[in-house]
Structure 1
Amino acid sequence: MEAYEKVKDKLEELNIDFEIVKHPPVLTTEEADSYIEGIDGARTKSLFLTNKKKTVYYLLIMDGQKRLDMKKFGTITGTNHIKFCSANRLMDKIGLFPGAVSIFGLLNNVEKDVQVYFDKEILLEDRMSFHPNDNTKTIFISTDDMLKFIESIGFKYEAIEL
């Protein structure tokens, strides 16, 4: 099943409304923004991170315009030496490649061993945008429905102040 189809099917199963925008492949939030200009919804940045020993995994969702202070995130999570996961580890853990990371990658994490964090600020938004596991599309979904999605697939999340 195509990566996007898996996301679409799950959202439809949960009766979650969403808007989809198709565009050429993009690797950064800046590139994606040029195709979704004028559409209501916060632009998110989804970061897949790990500790130095690659034994703990984090999916962090924050505003696309914000920069991550890795040291502060490490302090919040109680982990030293936070770093980005390699492309191979990213594929192994959530079935995605760099440039397509999103909350929907959790559908592919059968071990349920990814810790999910949101910057508190982004949770104040009514609607957010993500890649639906495919960087040729951007999906817009209400924040409440996105949280419903996360919980429905067996994940918990924590809101933190970055």
Structure 2
Amino acid sequence: MDLYEKVADKLGELAIPFEIVEHAPALTTEEADRFIEGIEGVRTKTMFLTNKKKTAYYLLIMDDQKRLDMDQFKELVQANRIKMASSDSLMEKMMLPPGVVSVFGLLNNEDHDINVYFDQEILSEDRMSFHPNVNTKTIFLKTEDVLKFVESIGFKYHKVSLDS
């Protein structure tokens, strides 16, 4: 089963409707945005982060137009230092290559050892968009269904208020 099928099957199992847009490979949110212009839904940026000692991992979902202040996030999660996790850590924890990180990668995290954070600002949006574990598709679904998905696979999520 490919990575996208796993996502689609899980959403089907949970009776979560979604819209899918197929497109050429997109490695950045800017590239993906060109393929989905005019479709309603906040464009998300999902960042896979870790602390200095790689003893804690964080998945942060935010508006793709925002820049992350690592120092602010470090304070919010009470860590000594926060940095982007390596591609090796991404493969180990979520079985994903760089460029396709999304909330759906949690399906591959059998240890359930990733802390999930949503920027409060995007939670008021009706719909969100993500790569569904591949960079040749963009998936749109209701925000409430994204949260339902996260909880249904055994993760808790936290809300944080990030500066613009």
- TM bracket (short chain): over 0.9
Residue 151 of structure 2 is matched in structure 1 by 151
Alpha-carbon distance in structure 1 between the residues aligned to 2:83 and 2:22: 31
Residue 38 of structure 2 is matched in structure 1 by 38
AA matched with 1:52: K
Residue 62 of structure 1 is matched in structure 2 by 62
Residue 80 of structure 1 and its aligned partner are, at CA, apart by 1.6
- In the alignment, structure 1 residue 93 sits paired with structure 2 residue 93: yes
Offset from partner CA, 1:107-134 (integer Å, 9 cap, x none): 0000000000000001010000000000
Offset from partner CA, 1:23-58 (integer Å, 9 cap, x none): 111111000000000000000000000001001000
Q: SS of 2:27's equivalent?
A: coil
Residue 108 of structure 2 is matched in structure 1 by 108
Residue 136 of structure 1 is matched in structure 2 by 136
AA matched with 1:151: E
Q: SS of 2:135's equivalent?
A: coil
Residue 18 of structure 1 is matched in structure 2 by 18
Superposed CA RMSD: 0.4
Q: Percent identity?
A: 67
Q: SS of 1:121's equivalent?
A: helix
Structure 1 runs of 4+ off > 4 angstroms? none
Alpha-carbon distance in structure 1 between the residues aligned to 2:81 and 2:18: 37
Q: SS of 1:88's equivalent?
A: helix
TM-score (norm 2): 0.98
Residue 122 of structure 1 is matched in structure 2 by 122
After the TM superposition, which residues 77-88 of structure 1 pair with which residues of structure 2 at under 5 Å, given as runs? 77-88=77-88
TM-score (norm 1): 0.99
Q: SS of 1:71's equivalent?
A: helix
